């Protein structure tokens, strides 16, 4: 199980590979998990936003958790189990624990726009699963903005071990790292280096599906006090990050992974679509 002391470093939210017909491509998934494990990551996230979680079925998710657990061995496995239905989130989180997950990444409930009190109760209810919870604050996807009091209230819960911050508000992140003992992880790839400077303990970074070792090196260099070296390493990753978010994630990422033969197909499930030809032309430099 993960805890607040071990929640740090570069975590990769893995894509969910599909074959040309749109079925789960478990061979590509296993190959990609193995590659990421061997690249020095500190943990893997299955069924995150980058993994197209809204379109992944329960049986597919269970298969991925099962296979990832075997490949990762002792490396941390985090599973995205968020829902706007608290009972469904509890059920999915409990099942992830049964299958060997070390923690659950839980986004704030989306669409039904609960009150701040409702969000607090949502995270309180997850305590019954017995699995460590990572709060995931991503308001541009959930339409649920957490105020600082709510964040601090949730982070005080014993079963909540930290937070993934995808607000893009570096001032807010700095305030949280100064006032909270539990780790804050960066969820905005282009702010990774800045977040480390502000006290974050690492990041959950979609871009690290590619150039994985270099992202890990940014973290290791910074941790070892080589700040200038870390900045230069991160600056060299900026063009890649900008390309990967030039269209909705994970479309550009899947395209590049397929072009580099790391997965078999860049297929996505609707309503997500593959990148345009214009975007593909801009990516020649990354192939």
> Is 167 marked as a binding-site residue?
no
Judge contact between 13 and 53, C-beta under 8 A: no
Question: So which residues are the catalytic ones?
Answer: 136, 164
Pairing of strands 133-137, 160-165: parallel
Residues in the chain: 287
With residues binned 3-state (H G I as helix, E B as strand, rest as coil), the percentages for the chain, rounded to 5, are 50, 15, 35
Q: What b/e string do you get for 60-87 counting C-beta neighbours within 10 Å, with b at 16 or more?
A: bbeebbebbbebbeebbbbbbbbbbebe
Cα–Cα distances (Å) from 62 to 58, 65, 68, in that order, read 6, 5, 10
Determine the Cα–Cα distance for residues 20 and 230; give it in Å rounded to an integer. Answer: 39
- Element containing residue 105 per DSSP (H, E): strand 103-107
> Is 279 marked as a binding-site residue?
no
DSSP state of 19: -
Closest listed residue to residue 26, CA positions, set 77, 58, 51, 60: 60
Closest listed residue to residue 189, CA positions, set 159, 157, 212: 212
Binding residues for pyruvate: 50, 204
């Amino acid at each position: 199980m993960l805890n607040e002391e071990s929640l740090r470093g570069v975590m990769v939210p893995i894509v969910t590979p599909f074959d040309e017909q749109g079925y789960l491509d478990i061979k590509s998934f296993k190959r990609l998990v193995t590659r990421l494990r061997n690249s020095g990551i500190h943990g893997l996230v299955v069924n995150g936003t980058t993994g197209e979680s809204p379109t992944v079925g329960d049986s597919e998710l269970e298969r991925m958790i099962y296979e990832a657990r075997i490949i990762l061995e002792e490396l941390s496995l985090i599973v995205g189990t968020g829902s706007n239905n608290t009972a469904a989130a509890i059920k999915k989180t409990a099942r992830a624990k049964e299958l060997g997950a070390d923690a659950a990444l839980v986004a704030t409930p989306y669409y039904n726009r609960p009150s701040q009190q409702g969000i607090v109760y949502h995270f309180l209810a997850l305590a019954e699963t017995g699995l460590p919870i990572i709060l995931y604050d991503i308001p541009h996807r959930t339409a649920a903005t957490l105020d600082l009091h709510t964040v601090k209230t949730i982070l005080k819960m014993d079963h909540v071990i930290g937070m993934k911050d995808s607000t893009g508000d570096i001032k807010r992140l700095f305030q949280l790292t100064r006032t909270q003992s539990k780790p804050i992880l960066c969820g905005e790839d282009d702010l990774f280096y800045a977040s480390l400077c502000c006290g974050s303990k690492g990041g959950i970074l979609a871009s690290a599906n590619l150039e994985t070792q270099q992202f890990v090196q940014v973290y290791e260099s910074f941790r070892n006090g080589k700040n200038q070296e870390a900045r230069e390493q991160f600056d060299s990753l900026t063009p890649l990050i900008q390309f990967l978010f030039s269209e909705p994630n994970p479309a550009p990422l899947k395209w590049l992974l397929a072009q580099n033969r790391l997965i078999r197909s860049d297929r996505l499930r609707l309503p997500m679509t593959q990148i345009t030809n214009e975007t593909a032309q801009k990516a020649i430099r990354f192939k």
